[in-house]
Copies of this chain bind each other. A is one copy, B any other.
């Protein structure tokens, strides 16, 4: 019998997923053809279809990895001492840190995942799960800030968490479209907003 080392199976999957990721980032999920993926992976159709049963299967796996990247980026901050909130973008998208450090490419893929989630119920579910978990993590971070009097306590932590997560999403959009998306300037802007004199945010 000739069974190949089990690690080679995983290596091939990796090779295919990496190639597909490249193609998807370059051209989107549905404007990318299987031939594009085959060429990029330098494999034949017969080879690829041994490891994935369909194109949708490859899309799902690629999207799942992108979401896992996001999830781990948020999880990494859990349990750590609460950092400054205006640094959250850096914390989640930080340049040197492993998660989401792929920079523009990861951001671009994530935008495609969002748009694919609009038409794929299963992906939408997964996306919501990841967002819900992240909301919990960030919400906990906010709550700790509130307990220390660093944030007003009369607003649900989840509401503040939603704003912070929207900031991250918005930053990702800019990074995906523009490429550069200066995180230092972004942090400056956040700091300015958060240090606004109290009268600027009057109740109504």
Q: A interface vs B, CB < 8 Å? A: 25-31, 84-86, 108, 111-112, 114-119, 124, 127-128, 131, 145, 149-152, 154-156, 158-171, 173-174, 176-178, 185-186, 188-204
Contacts and interface: CB of A to CB of B under 8 A. Distances in A.
Contacts of A178: 128
Nearest to A174: B166
Copies in the complex: 2
A114 B173 contact: yes
Contact of A188 (B155, B173, B193, B198): B155
A199 to B, nearest CB: 7
B152 A192 contact: yes
A179 to B, nearest CB: 10
B131 A196 contact: no
Given A85-B200, A170-B166, A200-B150, A160 B118 contact: no
Contacts of A171: 166, 170
A112 B188 CA distance: 30
Given A156-B188, A163-B186, A191-B201, 14 more contacts: A84-B201, A84-B202, A85-B200, A118-B177, A150-B199, A152-B192, A152-B196, A155-B188, A159-B192, A162-B185, A165-B170, A169-B169, A170-B173, A195-B201
